[in-house]
Copies of this chain bind each other. A is one copy, B any other.
């Protein structure tokens, strides 16, 4: 079991409906020391990749991405979620449908901050159905840039986002993959990696 899986077992809370609450250390209160360990681990897993930019999405990806960026010495760009379409033609836009929330959102990034030379590492806190992630990949490709890798903190392995992304040929590294959870007795089963 790695440091992250241990932390999830210690402080994560399993709720009905396959909800895993990790808001005490990951996506509401944020443990910066843990984020640095996450950064070190991604640095190892993407060893040898030439990465010059990290892309994430608001809001809970931002903190992780910024700390991870220090381990790669690169800037971070965060995509914004927006329902508006007043985008002035200066933005890369992906329309993303959320299975969970039954709504459509635009994911947008200014054209100024993604170029064909960019070698991008995408970072996010969670991967479930992968809707937001598909939008981010679409945006990187719209810019003519390359997705060098995708680093996820927690993947819900019982939803299909991870499978889809790996089938598409991307190097997707999830530091913890939850294969099943049980709200009644609080157990969490991680995939062996």
Chain A residues packing against B (C-beta within 8 Å): 23-24, 28-32, 35-36, 58-59, 62-63, 65-67, 69-70, 74-78, 80, 109-110, 112-113
Contact = CB atoms under 8 A, between A and B. Distances in A.
Contacts of A112: 23-24, 29
- Copies of this polypeptide in the complex: 2
A28 B62 contact: no
A80 B59 contact: yes
A18 B132 CA distance: 33
B32 A113 contact: no
Nearest to A110: B28
B63 A66 contact: yes
A121 B78 CA distance: 24
Contact of A32 (B35, B69, B109, B110): B69
12 contacts: A23-B110, A23-B113, A24-B113, A28-B77, A29-B113, A30-B78, A32-B70, A35-B66, A62-B63, A63-B66, A63-B76, A66-B66
Contacts of A70: 32, 36, 67
A138 to B, nearest CB: 18
Contact of A58 (B32, B59, B69): B59
Given A23-B113, A29-B77, 4 more contacts: A24-B112, A29-B113, A62-B63, A63-B76
